[in-house]
Amino acid sequence: MTFAQVLGNEDVKQALAGMVDSGRIPHAILFHEDDGGGAFPLSLAFLQYLFCRDRRAGDSCGACPSCGKIAKLIHPDVHFVFPTAAGVLSEQYMEPLRKLVAERPDFREAELSEALGIEGKNSVIAVAESRRLLEKLSLSALEGGWRAVVIYLPERMNAEAANRLLKMIEEPPAQTQFLLIAHQPERVLTTISSRCQRIRVRPAGGPAGPVFADADLLDELMNALLGRNLPDALEVSERIASLPSREQAKAFCTFAADRFRQVFLAQQGVEGAGEISPQARSWAVKCRKTFPRQALEVMNRTQTLIGRNVNLKILFTDMADRLYLQI
Are 128 and 227 in a shared domain? no
Residue 121's CATH number = 3.40.50.300
| pTM summary value | 0.70
Q: What are phi and psi of 207, to 5 degrees?
A: -70, 155
Are 38 and 187 in a shared domain? yes
Q: Are 33 and 181 in contact (CB under 8 A)?
A: yes
Range of the domain at 50: 3-201
pLDDT mean over 30-41: 90
Are 197 and 222 in a shared domain? no
Are 27 and 128 in a shared domain? yes
Residue 283's CATH number = 1.20.272.10
Are 133 and 235 in a shared domain? no
- The alpha carbon of 65 is separated from its chain's Cα centroid by a whole number of angstroms, namely 29
DSSP 8-state symbol, 86: T
* Helix 109-116 with 246-267: angle, nearest 10 deg: 170
Residue 210 falls within a domain, yes or no? no
Count of CA atoms in the C-beta half-sphere (13 A) of 269: 0
Could you report the per-residue pLDDT of 102-153, keeping only the tens digit for each? 999 999 888 999 999 987 777 889 899 999 999 999 888 898 889 999 999 9
Could you report the per-residue pLDDT of 88-99, keeping only the tens digit for each? 899 999 999 999
Residue 208 falls within a domain, yes or no? no
Number of domains in the chain: 2
Are 189 and 226 in a shared domain? no
Task: Give the SS3 label for residue 265.
Answer: helix
Are 15 and 97 in a shared domain? yes
- Nearest Cα neighbor of 119 from 312, 274, 313, 249 is 249
Are 156 and 23 in a shared domain? yes
Last residue of a domain, one of 201, 234, 259: 201
Are 227 and 146 in a shared domain? no
Q: What are phi and psi of 208, to 5 degrees?
A: -70, 140
Quick one: pLDDT band at residue 85, thresholds 50, 70, 90?
A: confident
Q: Are 199 and 178 in contact (CB under 8 A)?
A: no
Are 306 and 196 in a shared domain? no
